[in-house]
Amino acid sequence: MLGALVTACQQNKGMNLQVEVQGLKKGMLYIESIQDSLLVALDSVEIRGDNQVELNVALDQPEMLYLHLDKNDENDFNDRLLFFAEQGEMSIQSSREAFENDAFVIGSKTDSIYRIYREVLTSFAKRDIELFQLSIDPEYATKLDSISNLATSNERRKFVYVLNFALNQNNSILAPYSIIYDGDGLAPKWKDSVYQSLVDEIKNSPMGKSLKALLSD
């Protein structure tokens, strides 16, 4: 009975998030989640002089959250950071001037995998930009067909990567997340294959339910 009680307590354990924002002397930090297409604040803390603060959120499984910094400068640009929260101790270190780009997230295996995933997608996006620049360069006017073929190949490789990533992460909310946000070019049958591969816990998560709703549309 004692063992079962300890296990239950561990399963209901939330996330304790330590945040340090270098250069920030005054402002507000919010942890937000998307609920019914709206951002809802789960916890908040005011910063006055001390740039190290603590926030807490009740979690029973990994969840996509946002850390929103309000610097009181009437500018929301680059002040909302997407991260994947997990139960237990986590920390985020960043800076006031580049809150999103300088962020370093510690304590979440899901978020670590997500960062690698984003780096790969960024490489595909950079290749798209390179090919577009070539397509408008007069020196390559006679090679537009080849450039177009390269662009099509790059897009196909991207979607193959997203699909394989989702199938390999079927026990993580990253699987439905990647299809919802990066899988627009995938055929419905491949999206359904990802959904069917999900473990029950992920199917029943908010992200899994969002993927199911997407398939129903």
When pLDDT is cut at 50, 70 and 90, the band that residue 3 belongs to is very low
Contact at 8 Å (CB) between 61 and 205?
yes
When pLDDT is cut at 50, 70 and 90, the band that residue 25 belongs to is confident
> In the chain, what are the domains?
2-107 (2.60.40.1120), 111-216 (no CATH)
Top pLDDT among 25 and 183 is at: 183
Backbone angles phi, psi at 121, to 5 degrees: -65, -35
pTM for this entry: 0.86
Mean pLDDT score across all residues of the chain: 90
- Please give the structure tokens belonging to residue 149: 């073929």
Rounded average pLDDT over 26-55: 90
Contact at 8 Å (CB) between 83 and 67?
yes
Q: What angle do CA 130, 132, 133 make, to 5 degrees?
A: 65
